[in-house]
Chains A and B, each alone.
Chain A
Amino acid sequence: MEAAFPPRTFARGFHAEKLMTMRVLLADDERDFVDTLAERLSLRGYEVTTVHNGAEAVRAATSARPDVAVLDLFMPGLPGDETLRQLKVMYPDLPVILLTGHEAVDDNGTSPVAKAFACLTKPLAFKDFVAVLEAAARAGRQASEGGEDGQ
């Protein structure tokens, strides 16, 4: 099935000079939510790609090569945890942040959720979210550099 809403890319905004360009993939079926969040991130200089389900997220991970992926845990079709698992198979070093509406995630260490860089509860406090994004990107860079050193 081809996506009715193709991945959107948001241009970098006025805060851009403050930051190193970081590519962020946002996947959430609440379009108004992802678009608003993308708008806010792009104002701060992030390059953001938005998709609305897990399958699109997996495709966009290849086409957009994000530094960090942000997935909603409850999406139609491929849910966030399964999307996370697939992304981790393709890009083991890609840091993934999960969003939930619920804090009680049954994380017993065996579910794919345990591989997430962080699990954040909605509604997001935007400042905290940006801080986690930055930390995730740093962790991702270190992981991929570490991987290259090892080769």
Chain B
Amino acid sequence: MRVLIVDDEASFAEPLAERLRLRGVDTVVAADADAALAELVHAPRDLIFLDVGLPGLDGVGLLPLLRERYPQCEVVMLSGAGDVRKAVQAMRYGALNWLSKPVSLEDVLAECRKATERATARLEAQRLTEAARWRMLGRVAEGVAHEVNNPLNIIVQAAGLIEDCLDTPQASGLPEIDEAREALAAISAQGLRIRELTRKLLMVGHGMDFQEAPLDGAACVRHAVEMLRKRLDDQKVQLELSVPEGDGAPRPFGSATELQQICLHLLENALDALEISGRADGRITVQALKNQDAQGRDWYELTVQDNGPGIAQEAFPHLFDPFFSTRSLQGEPKTAQKSRLLGRFAGLGLSVARSLAHARGGELTGDNASEGGARFVLRLPLAGESCER
């Protein structure tokens, strides 16, 4: 829990902050509206105790601004005996509650607890909404994939039949036969590309198989690396693996096929980013370890990090949206490569990876590393602990 106390009366605010810190609440103090806003830009807060009677812009004036900029952040008003009416007015602007001074530590801690409960409920509601959205998206994607596969299948076989006919002795004298063969090869190759796309579409919003077991994370990573070996070599990317294996290594619980797919998509994403950046010293690091989240739960955590251009700010809200590709936001690739690059991305890899993570009760998040480059963190339940679910 992160708390901000906005009060110009230092003899009140500082001791209260100190007592909260002693109870493990991360607390900072601001003396007026400007200092409060500066503090919030610096680091987000979960709960703000806001004094009504501030110098300059008062608490009631600051409140609408806070609600607008930081809707996730709860506000509890603090008022002296004289301005209870103002505090009540603030409730209408969306304050969670008000406390009249002098306030007891118990009251402040009770507000912290309430704010935590509301934040948890809000997160859960968000998670359910997103899960429902993914399920619907999954149904649509599956329908599209099947509808596309049938005609595609006919196209590929028909192209094959023409190829067979060109192989007959009677056809050998045909003019332009080589061009015809090339055209057929193109039809087959493009057909396989569409097939790859529909295969990914089938995974949106779904898990792939039903066999869950404790997994060998290192083997799954290696499997994905082998599938991308040629691309890694072609792009001269340096790959650093630090994934523990053998006895005592943390083991994720899930499906091996799915974990391989997730690794594949994350590595492909990193390779795409490096290809766009055009850097000669491209590097991808893959690291796995057992890690604890804020709620004290242990996870198998797999991090894939590159030294590419990183994720553009505008891209963050859409990072896991199907068919959203960041290439237009990462600057224009060199024109010679452009058409090739634009042709390759399906913008589905990260969506699929996240779907698969969610299907096993895990999570996939993306951010930029402090030293630059994008970093994706996959969390999967640890084998052994998942039985409690």
Contact = CB atoms under 8 A, between A and B. Distances in A.
Given A104-B208, A106-B210, A33 B146 contact: no
Interface in A28-76: 30, 32-33, 36-37, 39-40, 43-44
Given A14-B168, A36-B158, A104 B153 contact: no
B153 A124 contact: yes
A102 B202 contact: yes
Contacts of A37: 157
A37 B206 CA distance: 31
Contact of A123 (B153, B165, B169, B206): B153
Interface string B114-158: 000000000000000000000000000000011001101110111
Contacts, number: 58
B195 A123 contact: yes
A40 B150 contact: no
Contacts of A103: 199, 202, 208
Contacts of A30: 150, 153-154
A122 B151 CA distance: 11
B164 A123 contact: no
Contact of B164 (A40, A122, A124): A40
B154 A33 contact: yes
Contacts of B333: none
B322 interface: no
Given A30-B150, A101-B146, A101-B150, A40 B210 contact: no
A39 B208 contact: no
Interface in A9-37: 14, 30, 32-33, 36-37
Interface string B182-208: 000000000110010001001000101
B199 A33 contact: no
B209 interface: yes
B161 interface: yes
A123 B168 contact: no
Q: Chain A: interface secondary structure?
A: loop
A91 interface: no
Contacts of A102: 146, 202
A36 B149 contact: no
- Chain A contact patch, size range: 20 to 34
B202 A104 contact: yes
Q: Which of A104, A123, A124 has the most chain B CB atoms inside 10 A of its CB?
A: A123
B157 A126 contact: yes
A102 B206 CA distance: 13
Contacts of B161: 36, 39-40, 43
A33 B208 CA distance: 27
Nearest to B156: A123
A54 B209 CA distance: 27
B160 interface: yes
A102 B202 CA distance: 8
B342 to A, nearest CB: 25
Nearest to B199: A103
Nearest to A105: B209
Nearest to A39: B161
A33 B41 CA distance: 61
A128 B168 CA distance: 21
Nearest to B158: A36
A106 B168 CA distance: 42
A36 B157 contact: yes
A131 B261 CA distance: 27
Nearest to A36: B157
13 contacts: A33-B157, A36-B154, A36-B161, A40-B161, A40-B164, A43-B164, A101-B146, A101-B150, A103-B208, A104-B206, A123-B153, A123-B195, A126-B157
Given A101-B146, A123-B153, A124-B153, 7 more contacts: A32-B158, A36-B157, A37-B157, A101-B153, A102-B202, A103-B202, A104-B209
